[in-house]
Amino acid sequence: MTTDRAPAADRPRQGTSGGSLYATERQQEIMRYATAAGRVEVAQLARDLRVTAETVRKDLNALQQLGLLRRVHGGAVPVNQLLAEPEVAARTEWTEEKKRIAKAALAELPPQGSVFIESGSTTALLAEQLPPDLQLIVYTNSLPVAMMLTPRPQLTVITLGGRVRAVTLGEVDNFALRSLREINVDVAFLGANGISLERGLTTPDAAEAEVKRQILRSARRRVLLVDRTKIGEAALWRYGELSDIEVLITNDLDAEQSAALNAAGPHVVVV
pLDDT mean values, one per 10 residues, the chain (271 residues) = 43 52 87 82 92 93 79 77 51 76 98 96 94 95 95 96 91 97 98 93 93 98 95 91 98 91 96 95
Residue 190 falls within a domain, yes or no?
Answer: yes
Question: What is the pLDDT at residue 19?
Answer: 52
- 96 and 33 in a common domain: no
Q: Which residues contact 254 (CB under 8 A, 6 or more apart)?
A: 1
Interstrand relation of 114-117 and 185-190 (parallel, antiparallel or unpaired): parallel
Q: Strand 75-78 to strand 69-72: parallel, antiparallel, or no bridges (unpaired)?
A: antiparallel
pLDDT at 155: 97
Is there a single domain that holds both residue 168 and residue 208?
yes
Q: How many domains, in total, are found in the chain? A: 2
The answer to whether residues 135 and 265 belong to one domain is: yes
Give the pLDDT confidence score for residue 271 in this predicted structure.
Answer: 95
For residue 88, the model assigns a pLDDT of 54
Helix, strand and coil content of the chain, in percent to the nearest 5, comes to 40, 25, 35
How many CA atoms does the CB half-sphere of 33 hold within 13 Å?
Answer: 27
Last residue of a domain, which of 53, 81, 109?
81
Q: Are residues 125 and 40 in the same domain?
A: no
Sign for the CA dihedral angle at 72, 73, 76, 80 comes to negative
222 plus 162 within the same structural domain: yes
| CA atoms of 1 and 252, how far apart (whole Å) | 5
Query: Among residues 205, 214, 119, 216, which one has the least CA distance to residue 174?
Result: 214
Q: Domain of residue 37: give its range.
A: 8-81
Between the alpha carbon of residue 81 and those of residues 160, 198, 226, the distances in Å are 31, 17, 18
Single out the residue of 236, 233, 248 nearest to residue 198, CA to CA.
Answer: 233
Helix (H) / strand (E) element for 54: namely: helix 53-65
